[in-house]
Structures are given as C-alpha cells and as structure tokens.
Amino acid sequence: MLIEILCDKFLDHGRPRGRIPVHSGLNVVLGSDSGSNSIGKSTFLMIIDFIFGGTDYIDRLTDVQTEVGVHTIFFTFAFENGLYHFGRSTGEYNKVYRCNSDYDILEGKDLSLDDYTEFLSREYKLNLPGLTLRNAIGRFIRVYKRETLDEEHPLHQAKQETAKVAIEGLLKILDLYSGIAEQSKIAKDAKDRYATFRNAQKYQYIPFVRNQTEFNNNEKRLVELAFQAEDLVRKSSGGLLDLDSVQAEQLSLLQNSLSNYKRQRSRLISQLRAIRTDKELGQKKFKRNYEALQRFFPNVDLLRIDAIEEFHKQLAGILKDEFSEAEDNLRATVDLIDTEMTTIETNIAKIGAVTDLSKAVLEQYASIDKELKTLRAANDNCVETEKLTETAKAYEESLNNLVREQISFMQQAINAEMVIINNAIYDGKKTAPSLLISDASHYSFFTPRDGGTGSQYKGLVVFDLAMLNITNLPLLVHDSVMLKHIADEAIERILLLYSKTPKQVFIAMDKEGSYTEEAQKIMEKTKILQLSIGEGALFGRTWNDI
C-alpha cells in the first residue's frame, strides 16, 4: 500500500512539509473550520490519483501547473517484497522514476507509465482478465473536477463512457469477465464467418441464391441438367463418363488447337513444295522446249529468247539464296508445329478420354457440367449461409445468457453488501441504495423512496464501500464536495467504516467543529494533512486573491 508522499513544493508557512505518512484505513485531509476553499484539499486528493497513474492532476488543474511550475511528487509503496520508492514529475509525467530511500532518482531505472501501472496491478492483485489499474480504481477516485461525481451513475469512469463499458468494467473488477471474454470471442468469430460468407456472395465471389424461389428453381434445373448429361453420355457411347466440365472443356480446346495446327501445317507444306519447285527450274528445261517451239514457229527469234532465258538464269541465281532461306524458315516452322501437335496429342491422351469425340459434344457437355456445378454450389452456399446464421445466433444467445447470469450474480452481491453497510450506518432504519442492471447496456442507481441529494451521495459512498469490501480494489478517494451533503449522524458512522477497512480511504473534510464529537475524534486521529487559508495552503500560498 501507499505509505508516504513528499514534494518540495508542499509548504506550511514557508517551511517544507516534509514526508507525509499515510496508512491503512482512513486518511483525512482537513481544511479550516470556516470551510475555506482553494487551499489544496481537492488538489491533494488529485495528487493521490496522480500517484496511481492518473493524468487529471495535469490535465484539469492547469492553475496549479501554472502557479507552481514543474514539480515532482515522490512516494513509497510497501508490498510483500519490501519498499518501493518512486517519483513522478508533472513535466515528464508519462514515465515514473525509480528512487532510493532518500528519493534520489536512480539513473536508467525509469519505468514507462504503462509498466508502472502494470506493476501496481500485479502487487494489488488487480491483474485480472481485461482489467487495467486505471480501469479498476479510476471509477472510485471521486474528486472535484473529475467525471466520477455523478451520484446517479456510479459505475461511470467518464461522462462519455457508455453504460455497457461501465458495466463491463465492474464485471472485470469482480473477476466475472473472463468467461464472457472467451464466449464473446467465439460469438464474434461466428459473426465474422457469417459476414465474410455474405460479403463473398454480395460481391459475387461465389454463387448464391437470393430467395427460396430461386433455390427451388435451381433444384428443378439441376434435375433437368442431370438428365441432359446422362443422355449425352449415352449418345457418345460412354466416352464422357469420366469427364467433368473442366476436362471436357480442355479436350474441346485441345482438339480445336490441334485442328488449327493441322491446317497451318498443310499450308506451310504447300508453300514448301512451291519453293522447292521454283528452285528446280533451270535453263536445261527451256532448252528441251526450243526444238518444239521452232517446229511450230519456224521464224521465231531464238537468239532473243535465249537472251531472255539468260536473264532468267541470272535472276534465278540471285533468288537462289533467298529460296534456300525461305525453305529453311518454313521447315523450322513445320518442325515447331509438329512439336506442338505432339504435345497436344499427349495432353489429350493424359486426360484419358476418347479423342474422337466431336468438339460440339465436348462443348455441350462442358456447358451442362459447368451449369450443374454453379447451381449446386449456389444452393449449397444457401444452406451454408443458414447454418452460419444459426450458429452465430446460438453463440450470441449463449453469450447473452452468460452475461445475464454474471450481471445477476454481480448485482445481487453488490446489493447484498450495500444492505449490510447501509444497516451499519442507520441501524437498519433506512432503505439501502440499489443497483439495477436491466441488461448489458443499461443500469440505474437509486435509493428506493428517497431521492434527496444527501441520500444520493450517501448511496454513492455505500456503493464504493461495498466494492472495496468485495473486490481487490485497494483504495477509495472521496472529496468533501460529496460528503458535505450527507447528514452529520450518517457521516460519523461512515467515518467509522472508513477507519475500519484494512485498505486505504482518502477523504477531504472541512468545518470539523460542525460534526459530532465522535466524528471530530475520528478526523483528528486519522488526519494526515491540515490545510488553511494563505500560507497554510498546500503549496504555502493561495493565488486566487486580488
């Protein structure tokens, strides 16, 4: 527990206040009998929050930061393993210094704020599933300018926090949340699977049906397609029996490619033959025809024809190399086509189907089988969607049942403890406050048949004491702004209850003389700090005077 606080800015009439010891039970910050304000009572309580990892001392008390400047709060905790000395600066408030017993800062031993609060969580046994130190204690540090003074919403840690989160926070403090967290993950996973499946249908990544009518129509069409497929198999002498739509389509494409290659090969062979014929043309062939030509045309000019033939021979010589190159290219192309045809024929053989099936039959079979698979997948996906829906609903219902059970148990435990505490304050003569949690997202807090301001704030105190008693919560912090509304007789009993707890309660009080004699004795006995106007204020001065 926290046992000591020190700050060199804490002054009392010009003198350092030194180390301020704190203890188990009640710790009172006492103001003046005149009820002077702005002397540091609430500020000191906000510093308690700062020691336990809060930031409201920085964020909300800007006047203190301006007037006092950067300062360091030093403090010591006593746990089972010994004493732990720390310091936290208002400048570098996101880290915590490790110190020795003289509060000299140990170099290189700093802790991040998260590591520091995790350390406190472990030591206070608050390292429960889903719970952080601030989530646990922040709700029960009720100081002016913090958002925890709403007497009708005691579960809330901040105004913007939803009731659902506040209720979950309470379940975590009572260690009733681990089962809910596990079931919540199961329910979320089921919802996510359903959502993913529905989105796949929405964006047409998978086949789906829109309604029951479409589902029924698909079933009818599936029967028709199955009959068509069987009929096609019969007509093709069973050659399609071992084919699915993909294989049939592949066969169709392969046979189509094979036909194309065969046509190309025929054209190339024709071109190759023509080139070879042209290469074989020569002068000798023309010479054999000269005699016949002269016999039919005795006056023909053979010398001129011979000259022309000579020109042709020269031209043939020029083209010879080109013919040879063209022949080589055509031969190479034919060889490539032969290779491709061999590959295609091998692939056709691998499929293991009858290769003499017509392309039309294969395409028809592929179309039927493809439609069969699409419609069957769409209907199967419809059935799967219904299964996922039912599963998600079932898991959600299981989660809701578990939440209701845990909430009911928590509500009964808190209300029962509040009755005990309220009876200790009023000897059983006044109705106890009641926490009513209607569901996981709504709650109300009230005192039956008593809606007065004093009763509401008393209810807040009773609720906090109940939580202190039945959880590992290590402390309460109650400002005078909530205690001053409660009747004097009740305050005496409340102070007594504060004093008897083995944990720690920090409160601010003023106008000591206005309370009962017994209440005054308790306050004097448990006082850790006396503050007054002017130089008796927490920082040795007030800054609101003109």
What is the pLDDT of the chain when averaged over all its residues? 87
Domain residues for 270? Answer: 255-352
Is position 404 within any domain?
no
Is position 327 within any domain?
yes
458 with 490: CB under 8 angstroms?
yes
pLDDT one-digit tens code per residue, 5-14: 999 999 999 9
Return the pLDDT at 370: 81
Is position 260 within any domain?
yes
Task: For residues 536 and 546, give the distance between their C-alpha atoms in angstroms, rounded to a whole number.
Answer: 18
Is position 81 within any domain?
no
Return the pLDDT at 284: 47
Query: Per-residue pLDDT averaged across 492-509, rounded?
Result: 98
- 461 three-state secondary structure: helix
pLDDT one-digit tens code per residue, 87-122: 999 999 999 999 999 999 999 999 999 999 999 999
User: Any idea of the CA torsion for 267, 273, 278, 280, to the nearest 10 degrees?
Assistant: 170
Return the pLDDT at 5: 99
Is position 318 within any domain?
yes
Lowest mean pLDDT of 166-180, 285-299, 324-338, 472-486, name the range.
Answer: 285-299
Pairing of strands 527-530, 25-30: parallel
Q: Is the pLDDT of residue 283 over 50?
A: no
Query: Per-residue pLDDT averaged across 506-521, rounded?
Result: 92
pLDDT one-digit tens code per residue, 297-333: 666 666 766 777 666 666 666 656 666 777 778 788 8
Is position 112 within any domain?
no
Lowest mean pLDDT of 326-330, 411-415, 419-423, name the range.
Answer: 326-330
Is position 348 within any domain?
yes
Return the pLDDT at 355: 45
What percent of the chain is predicted at pLDDT more than 90?
A: 58
Query: Per-residue pLDDT averaged across 421-441, rounded?
Result: 95
Return the pLDDT at 472: 97
DSSP string, 151-190: TT-TT-SSTTS-HHHHHHHHHHHTT--HHHHHHHHHHHHH
Query: Per-residue pLDDT averaged across 394-408, rounded?
Result: 93
**Domains contained in the chain, number:** 1
Is position 509 within any domain?
no
Q: Is the pLDDT of residue 287 over 60?
A: no
